[in-house]
Structure 1
Amino acid sequence: MRSLRLPLRIGTRSSALATTQTSLVAAALAERNIGTVLVPIITDGDRSRAPLHLIGGTGVFVTAVRGALLDNKCDIAVHSLKDLPVNDAEGLVVAAIPARADARDVLCARDGLTLDTLPPGSVIGTGSPRRAAYVQRQRPDLNVVGLRGNVDSRLAKVTSGELDAVVLAAAGLARLDRLDAVTEYFEPLDALPAPGQGALAIECRADDAEVLEVLAGLDHLTTRLEVTAERAVLGALDAGCTAPIGAYASTVEGVLSLRAGLWREADMPPLAAEGTITLGHAAAGPAATGTVTTGPAVTSDDVLPGELVGQAEVLGAAVAARLGEIGAHSYLAAIDALRERGRHVGAPRAADGSPRWQEAIAAANATPVDIDLLQTVPPGHPERVLELVQEIHAGHYDALVLTSARTAAVLAAAAANLPGLAAAQAEHGFFTACIGPATTQAARRIGLHVDIALDCDATTTDLAAAIIRHFDTSPSDPPRRHVALPQSELADPLLAELLRDSDCIVDVVGAYTVRAHPSLADQIKSAELDTVILASRSSVQAWLALDATRRSGVSVVCVGRAASSAAQAASLAVAATSPTPAATEITRALRAAHGDQDGAHTDPPAPDGEGT
């Protein structure tokens, strides 16, 4: 012990939960007169805002900390055990697993609601595929969205009304003294927690004998046996810590019991198996029901702790074998095959049916998939479109405002039996305002001269201001501000309101409406998309119209403020946003969404808290 260098340096992430957990270990060491100092470490998981399953799972939080330990920048490292890869890193060992805290998942909902009492359509946030699958299985009428960030930021999304509820780990909330936010505890044998959830792992270098001796006093054998059995399921199935697998083990009077399950899509029943083993005696193989049987009980005092750990591993492997027999292997293999084939990015076709952003997607090392996201259908009163075109030809308007390429196409079709809109513009002198390059190009294709052409990053307020400035700098006698505003029936009324507030007369005409393409669900399923690009408010609405199980696992990249704002208003998780439809910006956003190193982020992501 004399050669032990003090204080011991403890490597930890910088989140509130990580430092709190590390402080618990430091306090336990202080009781043994071992001084410590915390060494904060920034990980790739802290830098990226991408969904964890796209950037390597929660193991991304571990790699940097382990690297610091191997580089002798710290002496020990504290992890949430559920975030730790199953296999030990070369040169490192989990020297201690303290007594486990509450392993349960919990719901933190507004107004004290529970999973059963949340209204249909409520938005539930979770970053865990396992938790998402459980919620969707219990309540397919709820909208489950992805979630990143530390515990406080997640809870704030509920108190602010952005989300109706979040699913978190009870242990993390307890360590942060935030159990007041819990509205429901999920029973662990029903909502199986992540293997190892609630437990901490203290890691050190395998050849550091002095540190190993110190940490041995913090190890809790019962907890080690239980979490070993749980994590053995992951190891035997060759599954990562983000796989939708839950496991829960408990020990009663020398008998170790284990239940494990794999959650699939809401329309597919989960797979489950369970087993028991009497500690201190060799285990037999799994019975047909998946239960592991043993011979006569032997007191655990008769065997060494290492032998008991081996028995826990046998139990976990047996339960995993049963899960494999009933379909877990094939399901997980299909997931792996999707990852190996590379990422597929769905790009909605343009209004004219042409593909978009193929080169930008390819530059992000992904495969472009053209999808029909929206279907244009006639408005409720199609006769009003023809009347509007006739009034334009009669010189009733001083301005024509177009907010989408589809509107230009609808106007051109309505004017097919009349002199062109270009002729009407030349005769009566009205000006045309467009937002977005696609809209501007569509207007020019039908012969209109575009006086105001704003980029995609412009807002509705920007467009209204530009129109008012044009009126102010081109006064007429008598003053006229009569605006024709044909648009989607689903369009935001804000533009018309802003113009009317500036003394404009605005005739809003529903030129068309859009809805999710009838084949969209089948397209998503057959294309096996990893990411979808949404570039308009309507496309966000169409995406949300899909059943949540179809959208599950597909990350969203928004293009422009309109789509981004619509997604935010609907509490739709967005992996990244491209400010413009420029190819370079699309590529950068996709790389950010996929967690690539050269991807860009508009804002730095908040760090996740382990154990959440």
Structure 2
Amino acid sequence: MRTIVVGSRQSALALTQTGHVIDDLKTISAREGFQFDFEVRKIVTKGDRILDVTLSKVGGKGLFVKEIEQALLSSEIDMAVHSMKDMPSELPEGLINGAVPRRVDARDCLISRNGASLDELPQGAKVGTSSLRRASQLRAYRPDLVLEPVRGNIDSRLRKLETEGFEAIILAAAGLHRMGWQDRITSYLPADISLPAVGQGALGIECRADDEELLALLRLYNDRATELTVAAERRFLSVLNGGCQVPIGAFAVWAQGEDSHFPSGENIIQLTGMVGEPEGGLILKETLTGTDPIALGSAVAERLIAKGAEQILAQVRG
């Protein structure tokens, strides 16, 4: 029996996600006759070590995966479970996303101290978020709010809500659901107020591209709908050359319904992309539908570039 060594960050969320994936893969292995066992190896990433600086100032995408990818390439580990929103749009040569499991709730959510929703927060309320994407959209919707950085794992950010004078903090709903802490959520933010990060709510199972034995198992774990919708979002991000350093969001869904442009029976993807000024003065959005996720992601990005997205991104990058 082969032991698959699974690399994971040390945070409670990362280990919980990894544990869920391993449980699912064990079930598939037993059902399909694979001879695999699994062992977790904890890896500290640069993003885990730097907690006193916002992500936009320390390198953005790749902060939470680089050391893990190095361990994959050197065969210290065989696979890794990532939050897809942490993954760069391009993977290193020799590595592949072997599976994208079914996505959970992709929305942002608000956790407030006194049970107030976003609309009910008092004028000038102090709200914690280290995401330029969230800050840009929140400032556009509620310019009176005072937005301040809050870094750390989910549990430490929830503690800071109580100890650092925040009226509320904004987090990804998916992490709270995976930890079983969904009862802490005060309200969910609709996508028209806070468009999620690329890949938010989805996981990526990364492995070596030549590990056919493991890939055969991972293919059975892949969720095709999630794979294609996330691929559209990631293509959008790639064309814009974006990361955590710039306010970019995207969310794709299956758009089942009547559309005269497409043959009946085809799966249609609807993708919304946004680029915003950090202070929320200008938010550019575009929504298109298509059947090819790569072409769709490119098309939405090109539409936003035509509207002036590149000028915004150039200003943000300095």
State the TM-score, normalizing by the size of structure 1. Answer: 0.48
Give the counterpart of 1:21 among 17, 24, 28. 17
Distance 1:131 1:312 in 2: 24
Q: Is 1:63–2:66 an aligned residue pair?
A: yes
Distance 1:35 1:147 in 2: 38
* 1:120 aligned residue: 123
Q: What is the DSSP-based 3-state SS (H/G/I as helix, E as strand, rest coil) of the residue aligned with 1:271?
A: strand
Partner amino acid for 2:64?
Answer: F
Q: What is the DSSP-based 3-state SS (H/G/I as helix, E as strand, rest coil) of the residue aligned with 2:152?
A: coil
Give the counterpart of 1:274 among 268, 284, 287. 287
Distance 2:295 2:192 in 1: 20
Distance 2:200 2:71 in 1: 24
Give the counterpart of 1:328 among 286, 294, 309. 309
Give the counterpart of 2:213 among 203, 210, 215. 210
* 1:44 aligned residue: 46
Q: How do 1:540-559 residues align onto structure 2 when only pairs under 5 Å count?
A: none
- How big is the alpha-carbon RMSD for the aligned residues of Structure 1 and Structure 2? 1.3
Distance 1:242 1:249 in 2: 22
* 2:90 aligned residue: 87
Q: What is the DSSP-based 3-state SS (H/G/I as helix, E as strand, rest coil) of the residue aligned with 2:144?
A: coil
Residues 132, 278 of structure 2: 8 Å contact kept: no
Residues 105, 193 of structure 1: 8 Å contact kept: yes
Q: What is the DSSP-based 3-state SS (H/G/I as helix, E as strand, rest coil) of the residue aligned with 2:2?
A: coil
Residues 59, 85 of structure 1: 8 Å contact kept: yes
Map Cα deviations across residues 422-451 of structure 1 (whole Å, 9 max, x no partner). Answer: xxxxxxxxxxxxxxxxxxxxxxxxxxxxxx
The 1:120/1:189 distance shift into structure 2, 3 A limit, reads closer
Q: What is the DSSP-based 3-state SS (H/G/I as helix, E as strand, rest coil) of the residue aligned with 2:190?
A: coil
Distance 1:219 1:158 in 2: 36
Partner amino acid for 1:334?
Answer: Q
Residues 109, 189 of structure 2: 8 Å contact kept: yes
Distance 2:193 2:294 in 1: 23
Q: What is the DSSP-based 3-state SS (H/G/I as helix, E as strand, rest coil) of the residue aligned with 1:207?
A: coil
* 1:476 aligned residue: none
> Unaligned 5+ residue runs, structure 1?
280-310, 339-612
Q: How far did residue 190 of structure 1 move?
A: 3.4
Map Cα deviations across residues 142-189 of structure 1 (whole Å, 9 max, x no partner). Answer: 110011111111111223363111100010000011111111101124
Partner amino acid for 1:222?
Answer: A
Map Cα deviations across residues 507-546 of structure 1 (whole Å, 9 max, x no partner). Answer: xxxxxxxxxxxxxxxxxxxxxxxxxxxxxxxxxxxxxxxx
Map Cα deviations across residues 330-361 of structure 1 (whole Å, 9 max, x no partner). Answer: 1112233x2xxxxxxxxxxxxxxxxxxxxxxx
Q: Aligned pair count? A: 301
> Unaligned 5+ residue runs, structure 2?
31-35, 257-266
Distance 1:333 1:265 in 2: 12
* 1:319 aligned residue: 300
Residues 82, 241 of structure 1: 8 Å contact kept: no
Q: Is 1:257–2:270 an aligned residue pair?
A: yes
Distance 1:21 1:118 in 2: 32
Q: What is the DSSP-based 3-state SS (H/G/I as helix, E as strand, rest coil) of the residue aligned with 2:85?
A: helix
The 1:73/1:220 distance shift into structure 2, 3 A limit, reads same
Return the index of the structure with the highest Cα Rg: 1
Map Cα deviations across residues 398-440 of structure 1 (whole Å, 9 max, x no partner). Answer: xxxxxxxxxxxxxxxxxxxxxxxxxxxxxxxxxxxxxxxxxxx
* 2:113 aligned residue: 110
* 1:10 aligned residue: 6
Q: How do 1:268-307 residues align onto structure 2 when only pairs under 5 Å count?
A: 268-277=281-290, 279=291
Q: What is the DSSP-based 3-state SS (H/G/I as helix, E as strand, rest coil) of the residue aligned with 2:25?
A: helix
Q: How far did residue 267 of structure 1 move?
A: 5.5
The 1:316/1:244 distance shift into structure 2, 3 A limit, reads same
State the TM-score, normalizing by the size of structure 2. Answer: 0.91
Q: How do 1:366-445 residues align onto structure 2 when only pairs under 5 Å count?
A: none
Q: How far did residue 211 of structure 1 move?
A: 1.1
Residues 29, 35 of structure 1: 8 Å contact kept: no
Identity of aligned residues (%): 42
Q: What is the DSSP-based 3-state SS (H/G/I as helix, E as strand, rest coil) of the residue aligned with 1:217?
A: helix
The 1:38/1:316 distance shift into structure 2, 3 A limit, reads same
Distance 1:276 1:259 in 2: 9
Q: How do 1:407-556 residues align onto structure 2 when only pairs under 5 Å count?
A: none
The 1:173/1:272 distance shift into structure 2, 3 A limit, reads same
Write out the 4+ residue segments of structure 1 that deviate beyond 3 Å after TM superposition: none
Q: What is the DSSP-based 3-state SS (H/G/I as helix, E as strand, rest coil) of the residue aligned with 1:216?
A: helix
Residues 189, 259 of structure 1: 8 Å contact kept: no
The 1:242/1:266 distance shift into structure 2, 3 A limit, reads closer
Distance 1:269 1:20 in 2: 38
Q: What is the DSSP-based 3-state SS (H/G/I as helix, E as strand, rest coil) of the residue aligned with 1:7?
A: strand
Q: How far did residue 229 of structure 1 move?
A: 0.7
* 1:153 aligned residue: 156
Q: How far did residue 111 of structure 1 move?
A: 1.0
Partner amino acid for 1:326?
Answer: K
Distance 1:152 1:327 in 2: 38
Distance 1:161 1:105 in 2: 21
Residues 55, 244 of structure 2: 8 Å contact kept: no
Q: How far did residue 237 of structure 1 move?
A: 1.0
The 1:267/1:226 distance shift into structure 2, 3 A limit, reads closer
Residues 126, 166 of structure 2: 8 Å contact kept: yes
Distance 1:214 1:94 in 2: 13
After the TM superposition, which of the residue ranges 205-214 and 92-101 deviates more from structure 2?
A: 205-214
Map Cα deviations across residues 466-494 of structure 1 (whole Å, 9 max, x no partner). Answer: xxxxxxxxxxxxxxxxxxxxxxxxxxxxx
Residues 11, 77 of structure 1: 8 Å contact kept: yes
Map Cα deviations across residues 206-239 of structure 1 (whole Å, 9 max, x no partner). Answer: 1111111111111100001111111111111111
* 1:230 aligned residue: 233
Distance 1:238 1:157 in 2: 32
Partner amino acid for 2:84?
Answer: L
Residues 139, 280 of structure 2: 8 Å contact kept: no
Distance 1:108 1:39 in 2: 32
If asked which structure has higher relative contact order (CA below 8 Å, sep 6+), I would say 2
Distance 1:93 1:161 in 2: 41
Q: What is the DSSP-based 3-state SS (H/G/I as helix, E as strand, rest coil) of the residue aligned with 1:333?
A: helix
Residues 99, 223 of structure 1: 8 Å contact kept: yes
Q: What is the DSSP-based 3-state SS (H/G/I as helix, E as strand, rest coil) of the residue aligned with 1:35?
A: strand
